[in-house]
């Protein structure tokens, strides 16, 4: 019994660490993107000079924000979902529907990771226009985001399938955000 408790404690620590690191990376990416766009707007209107690489870098940061942010939103139940069918079904059938949904989602995340890796490796020799970096750096957000989706969904999978529960979080209320 002790080994099961220590395993659960270790998994809980890994989950908390993953969420914290993922959240801080998102905060930093958003802050950098905002500063770049703000600096470019100020520069354009105050000196009639535009920072040549700002739009490209901001766009690439947005790609990274999208793929790295999908996992934390998924774990909190923040993505759009149609739940009328499972609400209308008896509990056992609703669980079967959620198992099918979970299998389809995991299959999609695995496919996204695999195809994203292929896309990233094929674009390794193409360079971005303004910064002249490899597109592989930009497109690596796809397989990394796919792996994060798999990890985040894996941590909430049992609660989702059995009770249709998502991870509780002090900073995010999925119910409140869904009602906006």
Q: Are 145 and 65 in contact (CB under 8 A)?
A: no
What is the chain's pLDDT, residue by residue, as a tens digit (180 residues)? 568 788 888 998 999 999 999 999 999 999 999 999 999 999 999 999 999 999 999 999 999 999 999 999 999 888 888 888 888 999 999 999 999 999 999 999 999 999 999 999 999 999 999 999 999 999 999 999 999 999 999 999 999 999 988 887 676 666 565 544
Q: Are 70 and 148 in contact (CB under 8 A)?
A: yes
- How far is it, in rounded angstroms, from Cα 53 to Cα 140? 20
Q: What's the pTM value of the predicted model, to 2 decimals?
A: 0.90
Q: Tell me the three state secondary structure of residue 123.
A: coil
CB count, 10 Å around CB of 114? 13
* Structural domains counted in the chain: 1
Q: Are 60 and 36 in contact (CB under 8 A)?
A: no
Question: At CA 65, angle to CA 60 and CA 67, rounded to 5?
Answer: 100
**Domain residue limits at 6:** 2-178
């Amino acid at each position: 019994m002790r080994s099961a408790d220590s395993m659960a404690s270790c998994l809980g620590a890994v989950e908390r660490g993953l969420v914290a690191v993922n959240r801080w990376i998102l905060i930093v990416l958003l802050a950098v993107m905002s500063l770049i766009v703000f600096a470019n707007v100020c520069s354009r209107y105050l000196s009639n000079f535009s920072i040549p690489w700002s739009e490209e870098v901001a766009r690439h940061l947005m790609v990274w924000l999208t793929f790295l942010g999908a996992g934390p939103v998924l774990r909190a139940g923040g993505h759009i979902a149609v739940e009328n069918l499972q609400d209308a079904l008896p509990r056992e059938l609703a669980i079967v529907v959620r198992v099918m949904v979970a299998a389809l989602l995991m299959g999609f995340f695995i496919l996204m990771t695999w195809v994203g890796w292929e896309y990233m490796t094929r674009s390794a020799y193409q360079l971005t226009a303004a910064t002249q970096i490899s597109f592989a750096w930009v497109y690596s957000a796809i397989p990394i985001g796919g792996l994060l989706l798999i990890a985040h969904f894996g941590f909430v999978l049992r609660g989702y399938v059995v009770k249709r529960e998502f991870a509780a979080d002090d900073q995010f209320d999925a119910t409140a955000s869904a009602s906006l």
